[in-house]
């Protein structure tokens, strides 16, 4: 199943882009390099090799534990940046510069409908992409709720 932020290729066309909206169980919105969101049937898409969501690898990648000389308690940030391939896609990245591991969830709310978009453990001194959105739909972005547990 595709998720928001996955980089995909069209099977029947020479076109690639990021999934920026889940329309229903059979179709998604894909924003291409030109900034156009195209509704596409899930069966007409495939993942692009080498472009995996950081959320998929965040829980599997367990870096070697480093011992800090000083325990850092402050430094959790949300960075929003344009994509290198197309300036119409924004990637939300959570940066953890603390010595804590973070158990993080992100849920969105739009029109009274809540949706879980990310859940995972973020290692100390690392970052994880947690959401992708179309900048052209800025007025229609959902409300974001982040919940985290530091341990």
The mean predicted confidence, pLDDT, of the chain is 84
* Sheet with 76-82: strands ordered across: 76-82, 89-96, 126-134
Region of residue 112 (left: phi > 0; alpha: psi -120 to 50; beta: else):
left
Q: Rounded to 5 degrees, what angle do the CA atoms 50, 51, 52 make?
A: 105
Q: Across the strands, what pairs with 125?
A: none
The pLDDT value recorded for residue 135 is: 82
Region of residue 91 (left: phi > 0; alpha: psi -120 to 50; beta: else):
beta
Domains of the chain: residue spans and CATH: 7-59+75-150 (2.60.40)
Phi, psi of 5 (to 5 degrees): 100, -15
Predicted confidence (pLDDT) per residue in 28-87, tens digit:
988 887 778 889 999 999 988 766 554 444 444 455 555 667 888 899 999 999 877 766
The pLDDT value recorded for residue 19 is: 87
The pLDDT value recorded for residue 120 is: 93
Rounded-to-integer distance, Cα 123 and Cα 59, Å: 9
Over residues 101-126, mean pLDDT: 93
pLDDT at 149 over 50: yes
Q: Are strands 16-24 and 27-32 parallel, antiparallel or unpaired?
A: antiparallel
Q: Which residue has the higher pLDDT, 5 or 120?
A: 120
């Amino acid at each position: 199943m595709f998720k928001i932020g996955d980089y995909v290729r069209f099977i029947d066309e020479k076109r690639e882009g990021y999934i920026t909206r889940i329309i229903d169980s059979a179709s998604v919105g894909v924003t291409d390099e030109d900034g156009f969101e195209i509704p596409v049937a899930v069966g007409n898409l495939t993942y692009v090799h080498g472009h995996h969501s950081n959320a998929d690898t965040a829980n599997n990648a367990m870096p070697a534990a480093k011992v800090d000389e000083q325990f850092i308690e402050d430094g959790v940030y949300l960075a929003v940046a344009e994509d290198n391939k197309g300036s119409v896609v924004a990637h939300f990245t959570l940066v953890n510069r603390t010595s804590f591991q973070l158990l993080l969830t992100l849920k969105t709310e739009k029109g009274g409908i809540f949706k879980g978009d990310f859940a995972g453990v973020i290692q100390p001194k690392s970052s994880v992409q947690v959401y992708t959105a179309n900048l052209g739909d800025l007025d229609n972005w959902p409300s974001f709720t982040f919940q985290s547990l530091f341990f």
